[in-house]
Structure 1
Amino acid sequence: MLQDLQTALKQNGLLKKTRVTLARCLGQCGNGPNMVIYPEGIWYGDLEKKSIQRIVQEHLIEGTPVHDLIQIPVD
């Protein structure tokens, strides 16, 4: 999944404009794999390979969160 994200960022010219940090667990392992986009703090969960390109295109490029992929973190 990490490689897919880095590839999508590179293909869209965003690799040098973003920071990708790998974490073993963000406290939401049951909903993973997860991604959090900052500064908004928007969580995406239950990610699949096809979700990555949508998040890059819609959220990072167009500035619109992908509402059907947003995961509300649970304590």
Structure 2
Amino acid sequence: MSNETKRQLEEKFVVRLPDGMRERIALQARENTRSMNSEIVHRLEATAGLEAALDRAHKIIDQLMAAAPANEQAGARV
């Protein structure tokens, strides 16, 4: 499959960026030797991974908080 065919199959999405964001992304892309598109895709993928990790952390915290009263009562009996 040629690069042109691949490009035609890729989804395209137009985004309006707030003032100054394009320049910041362009700078980061240059620093990371990526295209702006690759930089944006990389950041979106990284954010999704961070959100999943944060969800797991919240579940663990909830479990620990739920277990805390039982642990405090057991400690009081010692």
TM-score by length of 2: 0.25
Larger Rg: 2
TM-score by length of 1: 0.25
Query: Which is bigger in relative contact order (C-alpha 8 A, separation at least 6)?
Result: 1
> Normalized per residue, which structure has more helix?
2
> Normalized per residue, which structure has more strand?
1
